[in-house]
Chains A and B, each alone.
Chain A
């Protein structure tokens, strides 16, 4: 069955460092991979996406990579700030018109000042 995995352990880093979060998947060939941010008690917010034929995508301090051979996406936040502390979810989208996403369980990032 399709499976998407994110590190369930919280990631703790110092302010100013680069945070790197991992999303691995199996038994799936996604057309897109999306990343969301979720703050406690709030709905997820879409951040950015990357297509299957793209290796890297950037948006301000965010960078996403996508390796379809390794079946893995890495999400980087450079020059991290305490305000970046949140849970980050990855989601897979297939190329068929099902309109459904498969979400990972999320990784919590804590940036310490």
Chain B
């Protein structure tokens, strides 16, 4: 079984809808991350969490919110989806200490029409 799983894998939604992307991990890592990937722009950090009570904004957090329900679960929400949030979204985990190598989920392809 995969160590980091994401649901759904694909989602098409309409502008203005609320949508939640979910991430679960069995690696036992405390640190979890949400990234989005756009062609030519690489991976950009949306939010990250060091533990259940520690959530931090990344470089592009506007329009997104997160919830860390447990050590193993980290959800990303788009409160009111807009077309420029169409992207590939990845969840990742890392060990607590340096060098924070990341273990990624399979991704969610989100299309906002």
Evaluate whether A31 and B107 lie within 8 angstroms (CB atoms) in the complex, with A43-B90, A105-B42 already known. no
Residue in B31, B92, B98 whose CB lies within 8 Å of A32: B98
User: What's the Cα separation between A51 and B102 when bound, in Å?
Assistant: 16
Residue of B nearest to A4 (CB): B42
Evaluate whether A31 and B102 lie within 8 angstroms (CB atoms) in the complex, with A99-B50, A100-B48, A105-B40 already known. no
Size class of the contact patch on chain B = 20 to 34
What's the least CB distance linking A81 to chain B, in Å? Answer: 23
Residue in A31, A41, A43, A100 whose CB lies within 8 Å of B104: A43
A89 engages B98 (CB within 8 Å): no
A106 engages B42 (CB within 8 Å): yes
Residue of A nearest to B6 (CB): A43
Q: How many A-B residue pairs have CB under 8 A?
A: 61
Residue in B48, B99, B106 whose CB lies within 8 Å of A49: B99
B40 engages A43 (CB within 8 Å): no
B103 within 8 A of A: yes
Evaluate whether A46 and B43 lie within 8 angstroms (CB atoms) in the complex, with A99-B31, A99-B48, A100-B58 already known. no
Contacts A46-B102, A89-B43 aside, 14 further interface pairs with beta carbons under 8 A come to A31-B98, A32-B99, A43-B92, A43-B104, A45-B104, A46-B101, A46-B103, A89-B42, A93-B98, A99-B50, A100-B48, A100-B100, A103-B35, A103-B44
Name B's A-contacting residues (CB within 8 A): 4, 31, 35, 40-45, 48, 50, 58, 88, 90, 92, 94, 98-107, 109
